[in-house]
Chain A
């Protein structure tokens, strides 16, 4: 054996050992399925309870559960798993905006090909939701599972002090509330109290908490991208940009990042915020004595006061194509998303199952009676939208975000120009 051969043997042996060590523990087979949930504490508890109950009732198919492994974000972990072909069989925290890319890459099972899926989805969701989750190839790769609608939280006491016994529901009212509320409280010549706050950073997903819910509210749920066409170059988007620009131009919203401070809403530095139902647990835990708050719909132009939409921040369930037994995985999905288990999910996590008639369904009535703060979200659930099906959705939101900054935050260009520029740039990448 010459020196080179020995060297190559050692190298190959060492690399092989390394790669073996890197391969994931993904030993699921037809009779055992691997299920990843979100790593949110409450969802872990829920998933554990579900898996325990399923395994007890179905000894022939064992579900093995683990929360999605830690990473910078669950999206990155899933991506790494897809690349390494170490995906679980079932994953229940898939952001709707990512599904189209995975579907096009062929790593997801088209659920509409499974027995009984179409009956199930029609029973669970209305036509609008089914249309929303249908991919551009006509298949459905996801079960709409949970939503956290973005609404307006408001400080009842502070608003009543400026003459608003009802939350501001229109742009006009909101701007007036901003005018009355913004103040230089310590007399140093600078405003230090604002009607609201949105993160002033260009990160694409920040627009899910300001521009996008306002756009959905103003447009009654219109799409940004439809059938691979950019369709947000419209008056609704311009109105939203104009409204937000007025908030910044008049100093009703803070230009400075306030997120590193103590909670600015609970400490009365701002009187409103666009947020989701997760705020309830936080507020109940940390609110000062006598603090009263409630939730309202997202502000809209004054002619749009009915059926106000918002962004629902949906997370859905998918089956990866590495699954050896999709039929059994589908049975498990039906089990964890049945009405009783949706109720358990609601009780344990305080997140809303995405199913029709949630606010009216008697199964959930006692929960909402005991948790009245959740009622506005349950009512809003009928009017939520997720994201459009596009593999370049993040880039489109990045483009919108940059124009948002230029127009809304710094007033460098008009609302009309910003929306037009965003649409033109988006058209170049949406094909």
Chain B
């Protein structure tokens, strides 16, 4: 009996997490798997529809456009993020003046709310009164329809997302750079290697695990692109910034097609899984 009493305490202690897990992770996942085979608008009873939601998904051109848009975002965002973050980390790893200030300054956007950042950039990107276009006009250049031109809107969002998140990756790269043994560079100096050669043949291979982590984190973050297009463009112009997450959200919470939204979510999760596996294989092979 005494032994049994002793066992109560650990269960009691983990029960808050277990309850959280059951209520907010396990139950939603199981429930969404059930929803995949139903039509449900929340207020009326669920209606079993078999594979109807999948049939609709494979005929839904807009969803595939949204996936395409998300991939375009990733193709722009990830390399941009890595290049800028690595460059800044390399600079901030040198003994420069105000190094601490710059490290904090580049990290600041990471802790600012995504909504605030998006509103800020919406003003900067303004066609008529935006600061960027004003500068361009003062320089004698033409205005750019940053978020009103369908060809420019997604790259503009990708650039903004890079600005917002780059500080986090700078920190990760800084950690990676500082873990490279200094004697590698000393040996390279003795051999007369240039700065570029040291970067190419010592730094890059040494921080490969960090690059992999940054790619994975950026990919996951990029796939969940939502706040920026939701606030800045609503998915327009001409659906050019409609991300997959925004489309799923609209199906679920604008139109209350919960079964269909769950199906889209399930399908999209599979795509993310496949992309991550491919990335992992590629990076492993490279390293």
Q: Which residues of A contact B (CB under 8 A)?
A: 1-3, 6-7, 10-11, 14-15, 18, 76, 79, 82-83, 101-102, 104-105, 107, 188, 190, 192, 200-204, 254-258, 260-261, 391-392, 394-395, 398, 402, 405-406, 409-410, 412
Contact = CB atoms under 8 A, between A and B. Distances in A.
B280 to A, nearest CB: 37
A260 B232 CA distance: 11
B234 A3 contact: no
Given A102-B43, A260-B122, A405-B237, 8 more contacts: A14-B15, A18-B23, A79-B43, A107-B43, A200-B237, A256-B127, A256-B148, A410-B238
A105 B43 contact: yes
Nearest to A410: B238
A394 B254 CA distance: 8
A211 to B, nearest CB: 15
Nearest to B43: A105
Contacts of A82: 42-43
B238 A256 contact: no
B11 A7 contact: yes
13 contacts: A7-B15, A10-B11, A11-B15, A14-B15, A79-B256, A83-B43, A101-B41, A101-B43, A190-B128, A201-B236, A255-B127, A256-B126, A410-B238
A254 B255 contact: no
Contacts of B23: 15, 18
Contacts of B238: 405-406, 410, 412
A6 B237 contact: no
B143 interface: yes
Contacts of B19: 11, 14-15, 18
A203 B233 CA distance: 10
Contacts, number: 93
Q: Interface residues of B toward A: which range?
A: 35 or more
B123 A260 contact: yes
B43 A3 contact: no
Contact of A409 (B7, B237, B256): B237
B129 interface: yes
B128 A6 contact: no
Contacts of B237: 200, 405, 409-410
B253 to A, nearest CB: 8
B155 interface: no
Contacts of B254: 204, 394, 398
A35 B54 CA distance: 42
Given A10-B15, A394-B255, A192 B128 contact: yes
Contacts of A15: 19, 23
Contacts of B123: 260
